[in-house]
Amino acid sequence: MAFDSKSFLDGMVGVGDMILLDSLSEDSLLQNLKERFQHDEIYTYIGNVVISVNPYKQLSIYTPEKVEEYRNCNLYQLKPHIFAVADDAYQSLRDRDRDQCILITGESGAGKTEASKFVMSYVAAVCGKGAEVNQVKEQLLQSNPVLEAFGNAKTIRNDNSSRFGKYMDIEFDFKGDPVGDLLEKSRVVKHVKAERNFHIFYQLLSGGGADLLGQLKLAPDCAKYVYLNKNASSLTGMNDAENFRTVKDAMKIIGFSDSEVISILQIVAVVLKLGNIEIKGQFQANGMASCYIPDAKDIREICSLIGLDTATLENAFSVRTVEAKQEKVVTTLNVAQATYAKDALAKNMYDRLFSWLVQRINESIKVSEFQGKKVMGVLDIYGFEVLEDNSFEQFIINYCNEKLQQIFIHMTLKEEQEEYAREGIQWTRVDFFDNEIICNLIEDGTNGILAVLDEECLRPGNVSDDTFLSKLGQKFRNHKHFKSKMTQNEKKITDKTLLHNAFQIEHYAGQVTYITDGFLDKNNDLLYRDLSQAMWKAKHGLLKSLFPEGDPKCSSLKRPPTVGFQFKGSVSTLMKNLYAKNPNYIRCLKPNGTKKSSLFEDTLVMTQVRYLGLLENVRVRRAGYAYRQEYKSFLERYKMLSRQTWPKCTGDPRDGVKKMLTDPQVNISANEIAYGRTKLFIRTPSTLFALEELRRKKMDELATLIQKIFRGWKLRSTFCLCGRHKKHYQKMRFSALLLQAYIRGWKARVLLRRMKLHKRQSEASSTICAYWRGYKVRKEYSKYFRSGAQRKLANFIYLRILQKYFLGLKNNLPSMSPTDKSWEPPKYKFLIGINQELMKLFQVWKCKRYRQTLTPQRKAVLQDKLNASELFKGKKKSYPASISKPFLGDSAGIQKNPKMQKLSSLVQGRIDVAANVQRISKTDGKGTAMIFLLTKTQVALADSKGQVKTIVKTDEIASVAVSKFSDGLFLIQLTQVLISGDDL
């Protein structure tokens, strides 16, 4: 009887789908990822989005057996895995005829490249077979090492960082179209400390061999090349020589001819040698600055590799020709301009070679007969970047990520809305941050940052990075997502973190500061026409094809498009492509910055969670119903919860689910569930976990039932057997018991003998050891006993006296009362000093403990008593009798007497003292009953009817005096005589 169905909920570590988090916050999301990572569960779902945490170690979860396990499997049937997302995309492509796209994003070092390899290897393993198709699949997989060699480099964060965005359309049955856009071409001529240039340069010099390097006129030493020698060439864990052989083999499998491979490597060698050309300055007779090349060796070697006259290339590095209509103006280049031209040629040559490689791979990966138009796109693209110094490259990277975040939220909402509409469930509006305002800030055709940058690059006159920044400040002074020093100064806001040459953008992932130095140059990326024409004149076929604008017949006076304009167009094309497909997402996270396995840095991962907008994604996904599942699968998993559906439920699965959930034993609230056309929707994760707990308990009950029935059947079978052969059974039982008894007795006797022997041996060994240790100690100490006996005895006696003294103190400590100052005196004079110190310490400690037990009210009472002590102690005979009595401010009881309460309004401030007194007349000495009132600012006397007779301000009182006897007399002396009613 098969009643169990697999689910990702089985044996789940943490929560497999973060939509099911009971309490949703950044902390709970991070804690769930950390808990799963520590158990090597590197994949976690957010709906159909998979979160991948780089383990930095090999895991046995990508075997062919795993491929078969996830093949044709429901997304939530097994543990979260990248194969599950790839299979879900492939099934949707195959069965529903819907083009698919898998978007892989994350920061450098998060494992995007490896994730794309796993996706392509899985799709290649499960799709159709055939000799030609298998060949294309192999070519598709072999394109990775080629593209990585020419497009990847070591960065501070990642040893194999993709410095280009790669989008690959895989058409079935079966064609792959990789599209690569080399982003960081500036790395060819310049890279920061601790980073490397692109891998192919190091691979060629390490694995090219003497013959090939001699043919390319190269030396196997990276330190000899300016573009490479800033850092160590070797890379831990990466064998450049072996990787070069892998790249050459991959090129052969893809279909590159030997001549094509040599042509590619010749261009790579030319790029290396361009960096070694030294340019020096000089002045012409007319005073104009110019330049020259003192050592033409590298120029000659470059020209021999590409088949070009040496003078042509030298001239292209020293002059520039500007054409305007029918006129040509030739100007000399100074050292800075010539160096810029040389580096621009190297960057453009490598960039165009990379684009040609991608196009060439596309031509190879195809089949002769294409029968369908189903397409699966795989996008491996750089993640949101925030470095210490962010420049033009980070700006356009983050612009692309803003667009990806926009499509991610919109497509997620669209997919949710479509599913709710298909199932007939009412859609709940979701509030979320729409980053369209940030995208428009960057890409708007007339008022965006890219448009302003292009305008500055193209307009004549004195333009610089400073004028560009100034123009941004004027145009976006009121934009809430833009800041610069100018906008902050206008708003009179002081921000010392914002530099004068920088601007800030409030991205969806947080604030990023961009340094504008080099923005115009990197956006222009000009290649002088003389260099393009020189490359066209080369006899090197491949190089000539890379510079078609150098053909005089095709020359154009139009300025080439800027980098920003081209990148914006590429992003626009990519967005249109993605909107036309059903999206699937893989979000890659880097657990630590040191590439260590099992190390999870909370702060680093939290930053990436914010950059990827994962919390926003979970909120969108669980806005309506957090969990949904098809009726058949749901019924198969939970049908044992109700007698109406167990053990077998016939009829429509939808009706069976309704019967089960409305059963009083299940007791699920109707507000927690919604019935779609094909799926059941559950609103909160706690409801799903409640069902799981009921299922677990029921499974335990069913297991117990099965065991009980099996044991009963077994006993009944044995009993029936015994009934037919009772005498034979009794003989066999008696014989078995007898044998068991004899064997147990024999084993017990053997064990007893061993135990007795072991005990005797142990006792003998202990006795011998004790005697031997005693003998050795006596022998050793007999040498020193007489010479040091007196000192040792004295020390022993002294320590024993101290021990007895401290033990006596411990057992005879006085009480904890602060007033108890008793202390036992020492028996020996040398202990008097330490005894006094210990007594003082104990008394201070007791007082401290007593003060810690006092309440604030008690402290206030004691403070009043302290003040009274300072005034009256030793001066007033009646003072000792008053110590135990608490101070009463309202001894006259005016607050309890309604007739007297009006006195509070007749004096200024709160009444601190109200007492019944006798006012003594100065004339006859007779006393009159009065009420004495005291506030912070006034002293007043009132009669028993509540009428104020005298009011005196406290600053008019000269002094107050009392006698030293036990009477209650006190005298108030004023600075002047006041007459108010009777005399005072």
C-alpha distances in Å from residue 237, one per residue of 152, 532, 666 = 15, 40, 56
| Binding-site residues | 106-113
Which residues have a Cβ under 8 Å from the Cβ of 149 and sit 6 or more positions away? 198, 199, 200, 203, 243, 244, 247
Q: Is 176 left (phi over 0), alpha (psi -120 to 50) or beta?
A: beta
Phi/psi of residue 170, nearest 5 degrees? -105, 115
According to DSSP, residue 763 is labeled H
DSSP string, 267-287: HHHHHHHHTT---EEEE-TTS
Cα radius of gyration rounded to whole Å, the chain: 46
What is the rounded CA–CA span in Å between residue 84 and residue 90? 10
- DSSP strand E in 921-979: where? 927-934, 938-942, 948-953, 957-962, 970-974
What is the rounded CA–CA span in Å between residue 83 and residue 89? 10
What is the rounded CA–CA span in Å between residue 662 and residue 665? 8
Among residues 42, 62, 63, the alpha carbon closest in space to that of 53 is found at 42
Which is catalytic among the residues 180, 383, 613, 624?
383
Residue 109 among the catalytic residues: yes
Name the token pair of 317: 């590095």
What is the rounded CA–CA span in Å between residue 253 and residue 106? 30
Which is catalytic among the residues 184, 385, 393, 456?
385
Residue 928 among the catalytic residues: no
The DSSP bridge partners found for residue 929 are 918
Which residues have a Cβ under 8 Å from the Cβ of 30 and sit 6 or more positions away? 602, 605, 606, 609
The DSSP bridge partners found for residue 53 are 589
- Give the 3-state secondary structure of residue 37: helix
Contact 275, 160 (CB under 8 A): no
Task: Find the distance separating the first CA and the last CA of the chain, reported in whole Å.
Answer: 109
**ω before 17 within 30° of 0 (cis)?**
no
CB-side neighbour CA atoms (13 Å) of 805: 18
Which is catalytic among the residues 116, 158, 186, 645?
158
Among residues 134, 108, 111, 95, the alpha carbon closest in space to that of 52 is found at 111
Contact 656, 648 (CB under 8 A): no
Which is catalytic among the residues 109, 448, 473, 624?
109
DSSP string, 473-497: HHHTTT-TTEEEHHHHHHTT---TT
What is the H or E stretch that residue 100 is in?
A: strand 100-105
The residue behind tokens 């041996």 is 761
Which is catalytic among the residues 32, 74, 152, 161?
161
Residue 383 among the catalytic residues: yes
Which is catalytic among the residues 7, 113, 513, 687?
113
Among residues 589, 613, 610, 593, the alpha carbon closest in space to that of 601 is found at 593
Amino acid symbol at 298: D
Which is catalytic among the residues 116, 162, 318, 562?
162
Amino acid symbol at 61: I
Residue 331 among the catalytic residues: no
- Packing angle of the helix pair 240-254, 199-207 (nearest 10 deg): 100
Sheet holding 482-484, edge to edge: 482-484, 502-507, 510-515
Name the token pair of 437: 């305002």
Which is catalytic among the residues 44, 48, 74, 108?
108
Contact 12, 656 (CB under 8 A): no
Amino acid symbol at 51: I
What is the rounded CA–CA span in Å between residue 180 and residue 380? 10
| Binding-site residues for ATP | 106-113
What is the rounded CA–CA span in Å between residue 595 and residue 158? 8
Amino acid symbol at 99: D
Task: Measure CA 417 to chain center.
Answer: 30
Residue 162 among the catalytic residues: yes
Phi/psi of residue 658, nearest 5 degrees? -60, -45
Contact 313, 302 (CB under 8 A): yes
What is the rounded CA–CA span in Å between residue 204 and residue 267? 12
Please list the active-site residues. Answer: 108-109, 113, 158, 161-162, 383, 385
